[in-house]
Homo-oligomer: A and B are copies of this chain.
Amino acid sequence: MKLSRREIALAALLAGAGLTEAAAAPVPPAGRTEHGARPSADPSYFTKATGGEYIAMVLYPGMTALDLIGPHYFFSTMRGARVHLVAPTMAPVACGQGITLSPTATYADVPKAVDILFVPGAGFPTLDAMKNDQLIDFLADRGERARYVTAVCIGPLLLGAAGLLKGYRATANWGIRDKVLPAVGTIPVDARYVVDGNRITGGGVTAGIDFGLHIATLLRGPDNARVCQLLAEYDPAPPFDSGSPHNAWPESVSLVQSMIAGFSDDLVAAGKARANKA
């Protein structure tokens, strides 16, 4: 029987009243919701290098670094995982906003069957990426055999361009999700991350952190993921309620929408062109 923290706390209270045998059961920290069973007493789930998963994180010009670096943190916290930044060659890749990342493996180095294939999003450079045959072909090839096919922000549209999200439910950056995902045959879902079969997609930029922790949980279990979260001190305290169109001021939402209206039309056109090509 698995007990929630609430049940364990209740059991402890009842035990104090002599009503049950669970007297030694721990009380969870006050004021917090429960999230799964108490961790194993044997920490080898975290300390032992296990798994050896191959994680291919795709770089391309103009990509948003934070889309990738967020999940990368959690992937590389899993001991024994082989986390690679991949590109056609080992030449450094200029991401957006002055960040340049060096690949650790070329496309040719990446095994045919990887555990995770991941592609980040970008702003305007997504349009170039949609037309980049080498990138899209790589995604299509490895995506066919990958254990998990994943992306965040506008990255899901690139998976879609590679024919990997046809008929799947997926999410993406809120600003373009509902308009552009259907262009590649994908059913948009309003969620922080979405799991449909082995397709895992995350919303805009920082959603990659929740997405990364969720994938760490799938690969290594919740005890391990909770340690990853604690190492990352991921106990968020946003200064504003402005992280989604559901809680932001309407003025902020319209401002972003007005900035990306033309861009999302272009993305739809690029997505349809790809869908027709496939």
Residues on A close to B: CB < 8 A?
Answer: 26, 28-29, 32-36, 38-41, 43, 46-47, 64-66, 69-70, 72-73, 76, 83-85, 92, 96-102, 104, 153, 173-175, 192, 203-207, 209-210, 213-214, 217, 222-223, 225-227, 229-253, 255-256, 258-259
Contact = CB atoms under 8 A, between A and B. Distances in A.
A262 to B, nearest CB: 15
- Residue from the set A29, A153, A252 with the largest chain B CB neighbour count within 10 Å: A252
Nearest to A205: B232
A44 to B, nearest CB: 10
Contacts of A236: 206, 209-210, 234, 236, 238, 243
A32 B242 CA distance: 10
Contacts of A207: 233
A99 B73 CA distance: 10
A249 B173 CA distance: 32
B213 A240 contact: yes
B97 A102 contact: no
Of all A-B residue pairs in the complex, the 3 with the closest CB atoms, nearest first, are A204-B233, A235-B243, A100-B102
6 contacts: A29-B246, A41-B251, A76-B96, A99-B101, A203-B233, A205-B232
